[in-house]
C-alpha cells in the first residue's frame, strides 16, 4: 500500500522538476524582463555611487550588504544548505557577485552609462553560447541568426564613435559581460532544481567571507564622505541589482529557457538609456536611439526562434 501511494508522488515530483524547463516561455520572458528593468538601473546607480565610494568598495560593499539580507531570508525560511551544489554556487558567486560588478565599476569611471548599457547588449549572444556549451540547450539556426544580428548591431555601435571613441572602458565592459553571461547560465541551471531566490541567496552567502573581508580591507580608502545620493545608490546596487533582480532573472531562465530569456537582456539598452538621460542628463543622440530600436526589432523577430 505504501509503495503504491509513494510511486505516483515520486513521478509527479520528478515531472514537475524536469518539465519546469522551457515549458512557460511567455512567463519566463515576462519575469526576465522584470529582472532586466531592475538591472537597467545598475550602471546609472554605479555612476552615482562612485561619487562617494571607490570601485573596490562598491564591489565588496554591495555584496556584503546583499549577503546579510540573503542570509536572513534563508534563515527565516528555514532553508538548508545544498551541499552538493556548493562548488557551483561558489563559482556563480565569483562571476556574478564580483566579476560583473567589479569590471563594470571600473568601466564606469571612463565610459558613460548610456554607452555601457548598449555595449552590454552582447550579453544575450554570450549567454546563448554558454547555454549551448554547458547549459544543455540547443538553439536553432534562426535563433543564432537573430542573436548574431543583435550582437553585430551593438558592436557596430560601440565602434562607430556615436557616443565616445572605443577605449579601455569598453574592454572592462567586455570582461563584465563575459563574467555575467557565464554566471547567468550556471545560476539558470541551478534554478531548475531550486527556487531562483535561493540560488542567488546561497551564492551571496557562500562568498560572504570574501565580501566582508574585502569591505573591511578597503573601508579606509574606499569611502570618501558619501552623500545621500551615493549612499542610496549603493543601497540600490545591494538590494536591487545584486539581489532582487536575480530573483526574477533566475526564475525566468528556469521556466523559459536560458538562451531564450537571455535575449530579453537586449532590451536593457532601453532601460539604461532612459534612466541615464533622466538621472544623469546624458544626451541620447538619434544614431544611438536608432541602434537601440534596431536591437529591439531583433529581439521581437527572434522571440519564436526554436530552442530545444
User: Tens digits of per-residue pLDDT, 216-259?
Assistant: 999 988 898 889 999 999 999 999 999 999 999 999 988 888 88
pLDDT at 50 over 70: yes
pLDDT attached to residue 23: 59
* % of the chain at pLDDT higher than 70: 82
Q: What is the dihedral of CA 187, 117, 153, 183, to 10 degrees?
A: -10
Residues contacting 243, CB < 8 A, separation 6+: 66, 69, 70, 200, 201, 204
Higher-pLDDT residue of 281, 58: 58
8 A C-beta contact, residue 139 and residue 259: yes
pLDDT attached to residue 42: 82
By mean pLDDT, which of 54-63, 115-124, 212-221 is the weakest?
Answer: 115-124
Find, among 56, 68, 104, 45, the residue nearest to 232 by Cα. Answer: 45
Q: What span, in angstroms and rounded, lies between the C-alpha atoms of 219 and 221? A: 6
pLDDT attached to residue 232: 95
Residue with cell 548598449: 118
Q: What span, in angstroms and rounded, lies between the C-alpha atoms of 132 and 112? A: 32
How is 56-100 classified by DSSP, letter by letter?
HHHHHHHHHHHHHHHHHHHHHTTPPP-GGGHHHHHHHHIIIIIIH
CA 158 to each of CA 131, 133, 170, 174, 184: distance values in angstroms, whole numbers, following the listed order:
25, 27, 8, 11, 23
Q: What span, in angstroms and rounded, lies between the C-alpha atoms of 39 and 212? A: 23
8 A C-beta contact, residue 28 and residue 265: no
8 A C-beta contact, residue 185 and residue 258: yes
pLDDT at 167 over 50: yes
By mean pLDDT, which of 80-89, 163-172, 225-234, 238-247 is the weakest?
Answer: 163-172
By mean pLDDT, which of 11-15, 76-80, 153-157, 171-175 is the weakest?
Answer: 11-15
pLDDT attached to residue 306: 66
8 A C-beta contact, residue 236 and residue 5: no
Q: What is the mean pLDDT of residues 158-164?
A: 57
Amino acid at each position: 500500500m505504501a509503495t503504491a501511494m509513494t510511486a505516483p508522488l515520486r513521478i509527479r515530483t520528478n515531472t514537475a522538476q524536469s518539465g519546469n524547463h522551457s515549458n512557460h516561455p511567455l512567463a519566463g520572458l515576462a519575469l526576465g524582463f522584470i529582472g532586466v528593468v531592475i538591472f537597467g538601473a545598475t550602471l546609472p546607480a554605479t555612476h552615482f555611487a562612485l561619487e562617494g565610494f571607490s570601485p573596490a568598495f562598491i564591489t565588496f560593499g554591495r555584496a556584503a550588504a546583499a549577503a546579510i539580507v540573503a542570509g536572513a531570508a534563508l534563515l527565516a525560511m528555514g532553508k538548508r544548505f545544498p551541499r552538493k551544489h556548493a562548488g557551483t554556487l561558489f563559482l556563480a558567486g565569483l562571476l556574478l557577485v564580483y566579476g560583473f560588478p567589479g569590471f563594470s565599476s571600473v568601466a564606469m569611471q571612463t565610459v558613460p552609462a548610456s554607452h555601457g548599457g548598449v555595449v552590454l547588449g552582447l550579453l544575450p549572444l554570450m549567454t546563448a553560447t554558454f547555454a549551448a556549451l554547458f547549459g544543455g540547450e540547443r538553439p536553432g539556426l534562426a535563433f543564432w541568426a537573430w542573436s548574431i544580428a543583435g550582437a553585430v548591431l551593438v558592436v557596430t555601435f560601440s565602434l562607430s564613435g556615436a557616443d565616445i571613441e572605443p577605449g579601455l572602458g569598453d574592454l572592462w565592459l567586455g570582461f563584465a559581460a563575459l563574467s555575467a553571461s557565464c554566471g547567468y547560465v550556471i545560476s539558470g541551471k541551478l534554478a531548475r532544481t531550486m527556487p531562483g531566490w535561493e540560488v542567488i541567496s546561497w551564492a551571496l552567502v557562500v562568498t560572504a567571507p570574501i565580501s566582508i573581508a574585502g569591505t573591511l580591507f578597503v573601508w579606509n580608502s574606499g569611502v570618501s564622505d558619501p552623500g545621500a545620493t551615493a549612499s542610496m545608490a549603493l543601497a540600490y546596487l545591494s538590494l536591487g541589482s545584486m539581489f532582487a533582480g536575480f530573483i526574477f532573472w533566475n526564475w525566468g531562465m528556469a521556466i523559459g529557457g536560458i538562451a531564450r530569456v537571455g535575449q530579453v537582456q537586449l532590451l536593457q539598452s532601453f532601460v539604461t538609456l532612459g534612466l541615464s538621460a533622466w538621472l544623469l542628463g546624458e544626451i541620447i543622440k538619434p544614431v544611438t536611439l536608432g541602434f537601440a530600436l534596431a536591437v529591439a526589432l531583433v529581439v521581437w523577430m527572434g522571440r519564436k526562434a526554436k530552442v530545444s
